[in-house]
Amino acid sequence: MSDYVPSIGLEVHVQLKTRTKMFCACPAHEEGTPNVAVCPVCLGLPGALPTMNREAIRKTVKVGLMIGSEISLRSTFDRKNYFYPDMPKNFQISQQAAPLCIGGSVEIEVGGQKKTIRVNHIHQEEDAAKITHLENSSEIDYNRASTPLMELVTEPDMSSPDEAIAFLTALKEMLVYAGISDCNLELGHVRCDVNSSVRPAGTDKLGVKCEIKNMNTFKGIHRALEYELERQMETLRAGGKLTQETRRWDDVAGVTLPMRSKEYAHDYRYFPEPDLPPVTLDAATVEAWRAELPELPAAKRARFIRDYGLPEYDAGVLTADPAIAGYFEATAQKSQNFKAVSNWVMGELLRALGEKGETIADAKIAPEALAALIALVDAKTINMPAAKEVFQILFDRGGEPAAIVKEKGLAQVSDTGAIDGFAEQAIAANEKVAAEFRGGKEAALMFLVGQVMKLSRGKANPQLAADALRRKLQG
Residues forming the site for other proteins (CB under 8 A): 40, 43-52, 79, 81, 83, 85, 88-91, 140, 267, 269-271, 274-277
The CB-of-391 to other proteins minimum distance in angstroms stands at 53
Cβ contact 423:472 at 8 Å:
yes
d(CA 152, CA 192): 10
Instruction: Give the residue with the Cβ less far from other proteins, 270 or 308.
Output: 270
Instruction: Give the residue with the Cβ less far from other proteins, 27 or 68.
Output: 27
Instruction: Give the residue with the Cβ less far from other proteins, 241 or 262.
Output: 262
The CB-of-38 to other proteins minimum distance in angstroms stands at 10
d(CA 376, CA 49): 63
Instruction: Give the residue with the Cβ less far from other proteins, 97 or 257.
Output: 97
Contacts of 258 (CB under 8 A, 6+ apart): 245, 246, 247
The CB-of-145 to other proteins minimum distance in angstroms stands at 11
The CB-of-269 to other proteins minimum distance in angstroms stands at 4
DSSP string, 21-69: -SSSSSBS---SSTT-S--TTTTT-TT------HHHHHHHHHHHHHTTP
The CB-of-75 to other proteins minimum distance in angstroms stands at 14
3-state secondary structure of 277: coil
The CB-of-272 to other proteins minimum distance in angstroms stands at 8
Cβ contact 193:211 at 8 Å:
yes
Instruction: Give the residue with the Cβ less far from other proteins, 116 or 136.
Output: 136
Give CA separation, 397 vs 327, 341, 343, 363, 445, in Å: 17, 20, 21, 9, 39
User: Rounded to the nearest 10 degrees, what angle do helices 312-319 and 322-332 cross at?
Assistant: 120
Instruction: Give the residue with the Cβ less far from other proteins, 47 or 354.
Output: 47
Which residue(s) pair with 125 in the sheet?
149
The CB-of-53 to other proteins minimum distance in angstroms stands at 12
CA atoms in the 13 A half-sphere facing the CB of 431: 1
Instruction: Give the residue with the Cβ less far from other proteins, 82 or 313.
Output: 82
Helices (H), 49-155: 54-66
The CB-of-73 to other proteins minimum distance in angstroms stands at 18
3-state secondary structure of 379: coil
3-state secondary structure of 86: coil
Instruction: Give the residue with the Cβ less far from other proteins, 97 or 403.
Output: 97
